[in-house]
Amino acid sequence: MSRTLEDIAKILSNPESSSKSVKAKGKNKRRSKVQVKDIKPVPKVQMIYAFNGTGKTRLSREFKALIVPNCDSEEDSDQVELTRNKILYYNAFTEDLFYWDNDSEGDGKPKLKIQPNSFTDWIIRDRGQDQNIAENFQRYTDDKLTPTFTEDDRAIHKDGRRTTIKTYPEVVFSYDRGSERTGNVKISKGEESNFIWSVFYTLLQEVVEIINEPDPSQRDDNQFDNLEYVFVDDPVSSLDDSHLIELAVDLAGLIKNSKSGLKFIITTHSPLFYNVLCNELSNKVYEKQPDDSHKLIYNPNKDFKKYRLEKQEDGLFQLLAQPTDSPFSYHLFLLTELQEAIKSGEVRKYHFNFVRNILEKMATFLGYNRWAALLPKTTEDKPDPFANRILNLSSHSAHAGEEVADVEDKDKENLSELVVYLIETYGFRKQDA
């Protein structure tokens, strides 16, 4: 059934209601069975797979708007505080808070600037998490690569009075080897993504630890007492596979050891991230009690649910349950989608993302360094030049207009021939017509 993203946000936040037949009791004994309403609470964690450009980030914003209505402005400090008190979320807009200043007109030292916002100042100034952020970042990258937050004073007006607060407008990175420090360095895109995630993940660690204390009066901070949801949208852009796996394992461990009623929603376009999380979240967790018994604190049968988000031609969406008793055969699903698009003549630019995704995973599985090696060869035994065309057409653009742009007939023909070649050459099971 097709729905809007707002409808899907409501599904994710509401208990699931259904009817079931049970044996009649009491006054209903004359009837062998009666219908009763079965209400399942919102699971602890819901995971959603979706292709790039499907609408994951928009879904995160719709979900935030549902949980905290009328909170669109980051300038309203009261509303921002209300948002983080009810929902913490990580998405593309979180990464947009950070940008590079190469300082070519100053000392020439690159700095990662932080756009003015209450979010990062709150984490660093109010929660004092700068050292933990650095330690998490070094664990994901290099234990010698050190981030240092630059402190500054900013004058603000509060309650009609002028006051000065501490703020942290930039971060510099250096390699620290004993007493030797190597200047300011510009880190890679993957390291930058790791750093931004480390800021969020460090906060999340603290929040989970605080609210794991069931008695609010015993918590060392009560800012999180009303926190309901954590929404994580694609924290894996630009990460290599080893760091991606480590991130997924850490996140799954944190979720499974969360003992409060906090709910997690995770969206991703990465099949590897999806699969690792699935494996990690599919195991029960027991906690040893003072009497040496063990208490079940995480049960995937009721605490974990998986979905696939698909965008329909009419602009609406489908949220499809992903089977829990089978691996995520994303490549077979992609191949089926490609065949249907070719058969209907509805090939769009995003379908080239599909074929590139299939080729990348096939190359990894078969041991090739480059997916182009899987393509048909020319008479000179070189990869078909169509590889470059796939590369150009499969750019991960966030612009919907580019994702559905018309494709030239020659490219459609080449794509059709390539799909047939891959199926016949590499032994894919042919789908029923």
Residue 183 pLDDT > 60: yes
Question: Among 169-183, 190-204, 329-343, 410-424, which stretch is predicted with the lowest mean pLDDT?
Answer: 329-343
Q: How far apart are CA 20 and CA 276, in angstroms?
A: 34
**Do 94 and 233 contact (CB within 8 A), yes or no?**
no
Q: Where are the domains of the chain?
A: 5-15+40-94+194-311, 98-189, 329-426
Q: Higher-confidence residue: 100 or 325?
A: 100
* pLDDT value for 364: 74
SS3 151: strand
* DSSP letters for 281-338: HTS-EEEE-TTS-EEEEE-HHHHEEEEEEEE-TTS-EEEEEPPTTS---HHHHHHHHH
d(CA 129, CA 410): 55
Tell me which range, 12-26, 214-228, 335-349, is most confidently predicted by mean pLDDT: 214-228
Q: Which amino acid is at 383?
A: P
The average pLDDT across 154-171 equals 81
What is the biggest distance separating any 2 CA atoms in the chain, rounded to whole angstroms?
Answer: 88
- The arithmetic mean of pLDDT across residues 157-175, rounded, is 85
The pLDDT, as a whole number, for residue 139 is 86
Placement of tokens 């600037």 in the chain: 113
pLDDT of residue 402: 39
296 residue type, one letter: L
Residues 73-101 as b/e (b if ≥16 CB within 10 A, e otherwise) read ebeeeeebebbbbbbbbbbeebbebbeee
| pLDDT of the residue at 53 | 83
Mean of pLDDT over the chain: 82
Give the architecture (CATH level 2) of 5-15+40-94+194-311: 3-Layer(aba) Sandwich (3.40)
Q: Residue range 39-44: average pLDDT?
A: 91
Token pair, residue 253, equals 């461990």
Angle at alpha carbon of residue 89, lines to 333 and 256, rounded to 5°: 70
**Mean pLDDT to the nearest integer, 129-134:** 94
The pLDDT of residue 336 is 82
- pLDDT, average across residues 320-326: 68
pLDDT above 60: residue 145: yes
Q: How confident is the model at residue 291 (pLDDT cuts 50, 70, 90)?
A: very high
Please report which confidence band the pLDDT of residue 28 belongs to, taking 50, 70 and 90 as the band edges. low
* Residue 307, Ramachandran bin (φ over 0: left; ψ between -120 and 50: alpha; else beta): beta
Please say whether the dihedral angle defined by the alpha carbons of residues 247, 301, 298 and 66, taken in this order, is positive or negative.
positive
CA 134 – CA 64 distance, rounded (Å)? 28
Find out whether 256 and 281 touch, Cβ atoms under 8 Å: yes
Least confident of 84-93, 136-145, 347-356, 410-419: 347-356
Q: Place 227 in a pLDDT band, splitting at 50, 70 and 90.
A: very high
Asked if 12 and 317 touch (Cβ cutoff 8 Å), the reply is no
Classified as helix, coil or strand, 402 is: helix
Rounded CA-CA distance 244/279 in Å is 14
> What is the pLDDT, as a whole number, of residue 388?
63
pLDDT, tens digit (0-9, with 9 covering 90-100), for 60-70: 999 999 998 87
Copy the structure tokens of residue 205: 């660690």
Listed ranges 1-10, 87-96, 181-190, 235-244; the one with the highest mean pLDDT:
1-10
Does residue 162 register a pLDDT over 70? Answer: yes
**pLDDT value at position 210?**
92
pLDDT on residue 259: 92
| Torsion (CA) 383, 328, 228, 12 in degrees, nearest 10 | 100
Q: Are 266 and 297 in contact (CB under 8 A)?
A: no
State residue 387's pLDDT score.
Answer: 65
By mean pLDDT, which of 212-226, 323-337, 362-376 is the weakest? 323-337
164's CB contacts (< 8 A; 6+ apart) are: 153, 154, 155, 156
Give the torsion sign (CA, 128, 131, 132, 134).
positive
Tokens representing 207 are 């929040």
Q: What is the predicted pLDDT for the residue at 142?
A: 87
Taking the whole predicted model, whether its pTM rises above 0.85 is answered as no
pLDDT greater than 70 at residue 408:
yes
Percent of the chain at pLDDT > 90 equals 33
Q: Which residues, in sequence order, are bridge partners of residue 287?
A: 295
Q: Output helix, strand, coil percentages for the chain, rounded to the nearest 5.
A: 40, 25, 35
108 Cβ contact list (under 8 Å, min separation 6): 102
CA 345 to chain centre: 32
pLDDT category, 196, cuts 50, 70, 90? very high
DSSP track, 87-120: EEEESHHHHTTEEEE--TTTT---EEEE-S-HHH
User: What integer pLDDT is reported at residue 399 of this predicted model?
Assistant: 34
Residue 29 confidence (pLDDT) = 55
Q: Is 348 helix (H, G, I), strand (E, B) or coil?
A: strand
